[in-house]
Amino acid sequence: MLMVVDYLSNSLNLGPMNILEETKVIIASILKLPVEQLDIKAEMTDIEGWDSLRNVMILSQLEEHFDIMFPPDDIFDLTSVKAFAEEIEKIKQTD
* Nearest-angstrom CA–CA distance, 63 and 2: 15
Asked if residue 85 has pLDDT above 50, the reply is yes
The mean pLDDT value for 30-36 works out to: 94
Q: Do residues 44 and 76 lie in contact, with contact meaning Cβ atoms separated by under 8 Å?
A: no
Neighbours of 19 (CB within 10 A): 16
* Nearest-angstrom CA–CA distance, 62 and 23: 7
Q: What pTM was estimated for this model as a whole?
A: 0.83
- Sorted by where each starts, the structural domains of the chain and their CATH numbers stand as 4-94 (1.10.1200.10)
Q: Do residues 78 and 54 lie in contact, with contact meaning Cβ atoms separated by under 8 Å?
A: no
Nearest partner of 55 among 67, 66, 74, 36, judged by Cα? 74
Over residues 6-31, the pLDDT tens digits come to 555 554 445 567 999 999 999 999 99
Q: Between 6 and 44, whose confidence is greater?
A: 44
CA distances for 35 relative to 90, 93, 95, angstroms: 23, 26, 29
The mean pLDDT value for 43-55 works out to: 95
